[in-house]
Structure 1
């Protein structure tokens, strides 16, 4: 929108001494003619614009008009760029790219390279190794539906694999425990529900819009009430790093024979057992006995399929 772009240009000129028309054109992905019109609009609004000709010229705001710009520290800007980079890894949105450009515009020209280098020291990539393209497409659609208040039509499978068609009023996207969720009002169940994105097999944005309802996300359970128990594992040294990354480890020490004994928090559900089985031959559950027995039963059930 023109208004948003004009405001962004004003913010940029307040923190930069001079910006060329070409740089503004590339930053906001509009033509040079559009930029010149925006500059005229800013001038008509009463903000004193200074135009400098030549190869190093550009537009600026009269220095005596500028306000104090020490609102953000260097650390603040680095934190903002790092956080926005995490969202950019999932949401391919021009809004995010424009916001990053605006924030970079708050940095003095002589410091921008050093700032970018520091901001890239920490990278948060929320995309999975496989299937990231589909996830990004669906999330962009959902984000658009949330912004424009459009109903979503989805096909959703519950934990038992039973699929059903739903019409949902989308309200929020939430990332929790390595998974993305859509929070919305389900017209079929007539209540707010949490939908795991990996269980949505069909997604369509409807033309129909909705009037937002009041709700508190804190009242919704993303993963239900889970009970964690402590289990003891015997693991190979090569599995230590994986165990630490995927479980909450309470204690880990050598068993004296070249392996490790670890006490970890464990949620006794399908996902929890699937994580234990990912250790393969490099991990063994020592106790409690009921978890060992359940792993045996699950292995026997799997073997029976191939007999």
Structure 2
């Protein structure tokens, strides 16, 4: 993990007079290019690192610079502790425990209560209320595969329930809209794919390793694409389902309609996901317009009712 590595590099530079990029790269099992980026990050954080070229050269903290616990402000330490604690709720591992311990070692006794208060003001719990119990185990497996450049195999179900067996080079874990994914190069499809962990079954680490290829990050910002696809429909909802509708649009789009109902300008894409989202509100939601969406809702409702006629 980058935060853990950065803190460890700072500790090493405090203990050693000078160390080369190659030594650091071998120590953390990353490329020298990654180490150079880490050094730039540490410099930007206000810790002056000097680079000496040639034989016997390397990185060192500038002479006469003394780093003490005051290098991190109260806000800095609170932010680090909040972030590391949130990850440790979901992803288990010694490196997270070590990183938390190292950050806590920078907390001065005089500021401990203030930092604890600030840290507790924000709670980020990424673990689910309920649901697929395999997710946490899968996160740990994929995390190991990422660290070791190790292939994984699994069965993957598409949106229609069709299963295929995949062999994948994992490159990144992604948390998006409260769902976990991982991005990898699928050898079965000869291309990069984003896999949703809830659709994975029988995940296994293969005893086979790969050389990382030029990585293509997934496209996660769909704002522009969604803007071209979305239309606005008008729905009437009961106040009891307001919370579910607020997940899709702000309260400014709600207009009171009597004592217990609202008319809502609802962002909509004509696909199963959005139709099912409206159906999930049951009889507390009615599509008012446009007519063709209202007609499709009626057709789908009739098809559901037909399942129970016999």
Distance (whole Å) between structure 2 residues aligned to residue 184 and residue 119 of structure 1:
34
Which residue in 1 is equivalent to 2:51? none
Residue 201 of structure 2 is aligned to residue 201 of structure 1: yes
Which residue in 2 is equivalent to 1:120? 120
- What is the CA deviation profile of residues 226-273 of structure 1, one whole-angstrom value per residue up to 9, with x for unaligned ones? 5222122211222223321x2123511212454211112223322222
- What is the CA deviation profile of residues 189-209 of structure 1, one whole-angstrom value per residue up to 9, with x for unaligned ones? 111111111111220000000
Residue 138 of structure 2 is aligned to residue 148 of structure 1: no
Distance (whole Å) between structure 2 residues aligned to residue 218 and residue 138 of structure 1:
20
CA contact (8 A) 2:89 2:125 kept: yes
Distance (whole Å) between structure 2 residues aligned to residue 164 and residue 298 of structure 1:
29
Distance (whole Å) between structure 2 residues aligned to residue 131 and residue 222 of structure 1:
26
Q: Give the stretch that moved more between structures: 294-303 or 178-187.
A: 294-303
Unaligned runs of 5+ in 1: 15-63
CA contact (8 A) 1:231 1:285 kept: yes
Residues 223 and 205 (structure 1), Cα distance of their counterparts in 2 relative to 1, 3 Å cut: farther
Residue 308 of structure 2 is aligned to residue 306 of structure 1: yes
Unaligned runs of 5+ in 2: 15-63
Distance (whole Å) between structure 2 residues aligned to residue 127 and residue 190 of structure 1:
33
Tell me the TM-score normalised to structure 2 length.
0.72
Residues 8 and 178 (structure 1), Cα distance of their counterparts in 2 relative to 1, 3 Å cut: closer
- What is the CA deviation profile of residues 88-121 of structure 1, one whole-angstrom value per residue up to 9, with x for unaligned ones? 2221222222212211221112322331232122
Which residue in 2 is equivalent to 1:296? 298
RMSD over aligned Cα atoms: 2.9
Aligned mate of 2:255, from 250, 253, 256 = 253
The offset of 1:183, in angstroms, is 0.5
Alignment partner of 2:207: what SS?
strand
Q: Give the stretch that moved more between structures: 293-302 or 164-173.
A: 293-302
Residue correspondences, number: 252
Q: Give the stretch that moved more between structures: 74-83 or 187-196.
A: 74-83
User: Counterparts in 2 of 1:131-210, with a 5 A limit?
Assistant: 131=131, 133-210=133-210
Which residue in 2 is equivalent to 1:84? 84
User: Counterparts in 2 of 1:1-307, with a 5 A limit?
Assistant: 11=11, 66-131=66-131, 133-218=133-218, 226=226, 227-244=229-246, 246-249=247-250, 251-307=253-309
List, as ranges, runs of 4+ consecutive aligned residues in structure 1 with deviation greater than 6 Å. 220-224
Residues 89 and 133 (structure 1), Cα distance of their counterparts in 2 relative to 1, 3 Å cut: farther
CA contact (8 A) 1:104 1:112 kept: no
CA contact (8 A) 1:252 1:263 kept: yes
